Chains A and B, each alone.
Chain A
C-alpha cells in the first residue's frame, strides 16, 4: 500500500484516539480524585458526568481569548501552541503494539519508528520547557513570571536524573529505537518471569524505574512537584493570564505529556505490550476476565441503584463490557487487541499512580525541590548507572 496513504490513516486514528483519550483522562482524574476525597466528582453532564469533557471543550473553545495589555503578543500566543504541538509530536515514536497484518497490509502498531526514538522524546521534552518559560515571561503578571522561572529551573534540573535513569536500561537493551527496546524485552526466564527491564537478568532496573518516575513527576509538573502552577502560592503559575484556547492548550499539553511519559515508562521498563506471564499459562484470558469482573460489579450495583437511571445505565454498561470481553475471545482478533490491552493496562496503571499521588501528598518548596534533585536524585541516578554499567560489562 502507498506509504503516504497508510501513514495518513494511522495518523488519523492515533490523533483521534489520543485527543479523545486526553479529554477523558481529565474526567478520569477528576473522578478518581473525587472518590479519594469523598465526593462524586462531575455528575451533571450525562450519566455520571460522562459527557463532561465534551462540555469542557465546548466551553473552552467558545470563550473569548483575552490577551492582557502589556503582553508580548508574539510569544504570548506562541507559548501554548509550542507546548501542545511538542507534546503531541512526542507520541509519534511510541509503539503501541507489534507488527500486524490488516487486510493484507503489513504494518506496525505505532506511527513511526525512529532509530533514535528515545533521544527524540528527550529532545522534545527539553524544548517543551520553552513553552512554560515563554508563557510565564510573556504574560504581564508577576505570578506568571515566578511560575515560569520555577518551571524552567525545575524541568531542566529534573531532565538530568531522568536521562540518566533512561540510560541504564539502554545499556542492557543496546538500542535507541523504542520498538527494538520492546522486542528486546520479549520472552521469559524459566518460562514465567518476564524479561522486562525491571526484572532483567544481570541488573534489574527497579531503581532506574523509580528514579524515572520521580523525575517525570517533576517533568510534567505534577504533585508533589507542581510548583510552577502551585495554586496556593502562585494562583495558577505560568498560565494565570491565559484563557480560552490558550489555557486549553497548556492543559492539553500537560495531560499529553503525562500520557507520553507513561508510555515511555511502559516501553522502557515494563516490556511494552508483552504480557505479565506467557500465553501458555492463559495470559490471553486476563483481558476478558477483567472486563467480566467489571461487568459483574456493574450488574450487582445496577440491582440496587441509588438513582433512578442506575437501574438502566449500569446493566447497559455491563452488557457493553461483556461484549468487549467476548471480543477478546475471538481468536482472529487476539493478536491485535491483546497486546494493545497489555500496553494500555500498564500505562493506565502508571497514570492511576499519578492521580493517586495527587490525592495524597502535599507539595515541596522550591528550594527543597532543587536540593532534592541535585543532592539526592542525581547522585543516585549516577550510582545506579555506574553499577548497571559495571554489571553489564562484567557479565
Chain B
C-alpha cells in the first residue's frame, strides 16, 4: 500500500468514526423525501452530509397544501367543521373542538354539561388514537416492525367507536358548533368500557417491547436533544415541550370544556430527547384513560346540544309538528346562522400541542377569516435544531419524536 492510499484510508476511517478529517472532503447533499418511507407524509428534507453526519437540514413543506384556510371563508360557519377534520387527520375531534369553541364564544352559547363531558371523552380517545399511530410509526422507523401492528389493532377499536358515534371512522365532524352532531348511539358505554378495560394491558405490552429494550434505549436516549429555551423560541408546544421539563398543558393551564372538573396528571420529563418524548406520550395515554374512565362514570344527563334554535338544528320530530322548528331548520340549512361581529381565539391541547382557530366574524353567515394555529407547523420548526450535527439514523428517530402530521403543517 502506497503512502497516498494509506492516508486516504485513514481519512475515510476517521470520517466514519465522526472525527474531523484531515484531507479535503466533499459534502454530499441528500434529498430526503417527499417520497421517503419515514418522512411520515410528503415532507422533504434537504440534508447536507459529511459522511453520515448531518451538517445542515432544511425542511421543505407545502406538498400537501390544499388551501383550507381560504376555503373556510367560502363556507358557512357550520360547514367549516368538515374542513377541520381534514387538517390533522389523526386528531379530527380535537380540531373540531378547537374550531367550535371560539365560534361558540362569539355566539355566547351555553354548552350543556353532557355535551361538554362527551367532548372531553372523545378528545381523550382521539389522543389515544393519535398516540397509537405515532407509537406504531415511530417504532417501525426504528426497525421494530411488530409494534406498528399492535398499535393499529388498538386504533381499530377506537375507530370503530368513532364510527358508531358519527358514522365515519376518520372524518368524524362529530363535534359541531353548539354541541354534538347527534345523540350518542345506543350501547356506546359498553363499547368504550370494553376498550378501556383492555387498553392498559396493551400499553404495558408496548412498554415491554420498547421501554425495556436496550437497543431502543440506545437509539433514543440523548438523541435529538434541544434545550427548553430553544424550543420555546421556536414556538414548540405539546409533548415535545413537556419532555423538555416545562409543565405546560392547556387542559390544566387554561381549562376548556370542563377539563377543570377532571383529575389527571401532566407527565413531565427533563431530558428533552427522543426517549423523554416517547415516555411523555406513553404516560399521556395512561392519563387519557383515567380521564375517559372519569367521564364515563360521571356522565351527566341532559341534551347533547345547546338550546339555541337558530344555531342548532331541531330534531326531526319537532320539525314535523312545529312550524317554528321547520322555519329554523330551513334558515339554518339554506343560509346558515349569523355570528355576531367580533373575533375570538380559544386554544385547545391537541395530541400534538396547542391548536387554536382565530376566527373573525363580520356578522354574516360565513367567517371573514379563520386563522389556524396548528401544532405540527410549530413543532416542525425544531427540525434543524434536532438534526444538525447528528447522524442520518438519528433523523429517523427525531422525525418520529416530533410527531407531526403534514396535513396539519400545510393545511
Contact = CB atoms under 8 A, between A and B. Distances in A.
Interface of A: 33, 36-39, 142-143, 146, 149, 153, 223-224, 226-227, 230-235, 358-368, 370
Interface stretch (B78-86, B97-105, B213-221): B213-221
B132 to A, nearest CB: 14
Interface stretch (B113-121, B237-245, B390-398): B390-398
Contact of A230 (B28, B143, B153, B394): B143
Contacts of A37: 145-146, 148-150
Contacts of B36: 235
B191 interface: no
Contacts of B140: 232
Given A232-B140, A359-B145, 7 more contacts: A37-B145, A146-B392, A153-B16, A224-B143, A234-B392, A361-B144, A368-B219
B219 A360 contact: no
B142 A362 contact: yes
B139 interface: yes
Given A142-B28, A362-B142, A230 B215 contact: no
Given A37-B149, A232-B141, A362 B219 contact: yes
Nearest to A361: B215
25 contacts: A33-B145, A37-B145, A37-B149, A142-B30, A146-B52, A153-B16, A224-B143, A232-B143, A233-B392, A233-B393, A233-B395, A359-B145, A360-B144, A360-B146, A362-B213, A362-B216, A363-B219, A364-B215, A364-B218, A364-B219, A365-B218, A365-B391, A366-B391, A367-B391, A368-B219
A326 to B, nearest CB: 38
A232 B213 CA distance: 19
A233 B140 CA distance: 11
Contacts of A233: 38, 392-393, 395-396
Interface string B85-107: 00000000000000000000000
Contact of B219 (A142, A149, A235, A365): A365
Closest 5 CB pairs of A and B: A363-B143, A362-B144, A37-B149, A232-B38, A362-B142
Nearest to B217: A362
A378 to B, nearest CB: 15
A137 to B, nearest CB: 13
Contacts of A363: 142-143, 215, 219
A336 to B, nearest CB: 40
A28 B16 CA distance: 37
Contacts of A235: 36-37
A232 B219 CA distance: 14
A102 to B, nearest CB: 45
Contacts of B28: 142
B341 interface: no
Interface in B200-218: 209-210, 213, 215-216, 218
Contacts of B393: 227, 230, 233, 365-366
B389 interface: no
Contacts of A358: 145
B18 interface: yes
B277 to A, nearest CB: 16
Interface string B16-47: 11100000000010100000111000000000
A136 to B, nearest CB: 14
Contact of B143 (A33, A36, A362, A370): A362
B37 A232 contact: yes
A361 B213 contact: yes
B40 to A, nearest CB: 10
Interface in B134-172: 139-146, 148-150, 153
Contacts of A230: 143, 393
Nearest to A150: B52
Nearest to B35: A235
A38 B202 CA distance: 14
B37 A231 contact: yes
A153 B395 CA distance: 21
B392 to A, nearest CB: 6
